[in-house]
Amino acid sequence: MMQPNEPVREQLLGYLLEALEPDERHRLEAELLQDPTLQRDLEELNDSLEPLRLTEDPPEPPTGLAERTCQMIAAFQADAHATRLPSLAPAGPRGF
Q: Is the pLDDT of residue 3 over 60?
A: no
Q: Domain tally for the chain?
A: 1
1 vs 90: which has the higher pLDDT: 90
In the structure, what pLDDT confidence band is assigned to residue 52 with cuts at 50, 70 and 90?
Answer: confident
Domain that residue 33 falls in: 6-53
In a domain, 64, yes or no: no
On whether residue 15 sits in a domain, the answer given is yes
How much is the pLDDT for 71? 94
DSSP assignment of 2-64 equals: PPPPHHHHHHHHHHHTT-S-HHHHHHHHHHHHH-HHHHHHHHHHHHHTHHHHT-SSPPPPPTT
At residue 88, the pLDDT reads 59
Window from 2-16, 51-65, 78-92 with minimum mean pLDDT:
78-92
With respect to residue 69, please indicate whether it lies within any of the assigned structural domains. no
- CA 21 to chain CA mean position, Å: 16
Cβ atoms 9, 3 nearer than 8 A: yes
Distance CA 94, CA 10 (A): 55
